[in-house]
Amino acid sequence: MGLLWTVVVIAGVSGFSGAPAMAAEMTDAQGIVDKAQITFGDFVRDQDNTWLHENLKNARGLLIFPQVLKAGFFLGGSGGTGVLVLRDGKTCNWSQPAFYTLGSVTFGLQIGGESAEVLMLVMSDKAVDTLLASSLKLGGDASFALGPIGKGAKSNITADFVSFAKTKGLYAGLNLEGSVVDVRDSLNRSYYGKDVRPIDILVKKDVTNEGSKELITILDKSVAPDGICMPSLTFNYGF
């Protein structure tokens, strides 16, 4: 009887202690969504970035990392956590955010500060399929290019991912070649209250969280500022 009672008590304490941890992770997840909205807004408010503004409408999705830290500041390595959102090729509606990590980032000597904000345009079906299926290495599993900066910048980029980075408010040529993008399952579970895969969030749209409303709103306004969506691309995510 004593042993049984001990087991019951331990199980109860374990379950009770898990609730605050889940709540804390939910708060962390919402904070990342809120910061992603701010980061995206900072990039699109820069009217001098011609290429970004002209090509947002062609992006299948966006990876937004509000804070990518140098080695020693992120779990002993370099990287950060952000969100992936996909755009429906028929309706132009944006998906709920799924949480991803970006690791093994190389900070060049030309980059000042300890962190950077990163916006990556997901430009191909291959890029989407890879993100939905597993982790990926930029430049290995999918092609990667730095986005052209400046007013009137033109470039015929055909990469799967095109990235922009800022540190201390200034654009930086952050080298993401070889960096690893992976799913953050624990945050997805905390944010949506159950175990969910990226495909459940991004394609099947099985879950929602009202906390993403402001992020979705700014995405809609930035990609279709006049409220008119012209879906010129047929997105085939392979599922």
The tens digit of pLDDT for each residue in 159-182 reads 999 999 888 767 766 778 889 999
Residue 232 lies in a domain: no
Q: Is the pLDDT of residue 41 over 80?
A: yes
pTM for this one?
Answer: 0.83
Q: Is the pLDDT of residue 82 over 50?
A: yes
Please check whether residue 49 lies inside any domain of the structure: yes
Could you tell me if residue 5 is inside a domain? no
- 100: pLDDT strictly greater than 60: yes
Would you say residue 36 lies in a domain? yes
Residue 18 located in a structural domain: no
Containing structural domain, residue 101: 24-223
Burial letters 150-170, b for 16+ CB under 10 A, else e:
eeeeeeebebbbbbbbbbeee
Give the pLDDT confidence score for residue 226 in this predicted structure: 59
- Residue 193 lies inside a defined structural domain of this protein: yes
Q: Is residue 7 part of a domain?
A: no
In tens, the pLDDT along 205-230 reads: 999 999 999 999 999 988 866 556 65
Can you tell me the distance from the alpha carbon of 41 to that of 117, in angstroms, rounded to the nearest whole number? 12
Report the pLDDT averaged over residues 66-72.
Answer: 77
* Count: domains in the chain: 1
Q: Which two tokens stand for residue 46?
A: 């820069």
Res. 200: pLDDT tops 80:
yes
Share of the chain above pLDDT 70, in %: 74
For residue 229, tell me if it sits in a domain. Answer: no
Quote the pLDDT of residue 19. Answer: 67
